[in-house]
Amino acid sequence: MMSRASLAGLAMSLITTGSGFAAPSSSPPDSPPIPTTSHAVIGKDYPQVARQLREEGEVTIRYRVEPDGTVSECQIVISSNEPRLDITACLLARRNWKFIPATRDGMPVAEYMESNVSFRLDDTNL
């Protein structure tokens, strides 16, 4: 198990000030990426230690949807102030989220998006 200090260091390494991503295309896509999977945090997604410590919060992430509909790059835009939740938000996006990709001139293209990921304890997460 990682210490809170180690987790905080890892979370801080994920947080960038905009220098971690290539510049977006100068023209918007003809159609944006469309999610095909749920982005809700469910019981199995909640970090066990965070659940035990009753950690909750909302993380805003910026990520890249690839032409194949998978998520690659991910950065924390606004932290939940709980490093375990911040790290998990990007891990879930990369591992679980799928999209119909954005298109430009009828071709699939990579596109950056932002989303909020909410971690809330309720009966399904306990």
The residues spanned by each domain of the chain are: 4-18+33-119
Measured on CA atoms in the order 24, 26, 28, 29, is the torsion positive or negative? negative
pLDDT over threshold 90, residue 37: yes
Q: The tokens 């999209």 sit on which residue? A: 99
pLDDT band at 26 (very low <50, low <70, confident <90, very high): low
Q: Which CATH architecture has domain 4-18+33-119?
A: 2-Layer Sandwich (3.30)
The mean per-residue pLDDT over the stretch 2-26 comes to 48
The mean per-residue pLDDT over the stretch 90-98 comes to 97
According to DSSP, the residues that pair with 99 across neighbouring strands are 35
Distance CA 78, CA 24 (A): 20
pLDDT value, residue 21: 47
Q: For the beta carbon of residue 67, count every other beta carbon within 10 angstroms.
A: 14
First to last CA, the chain: 20
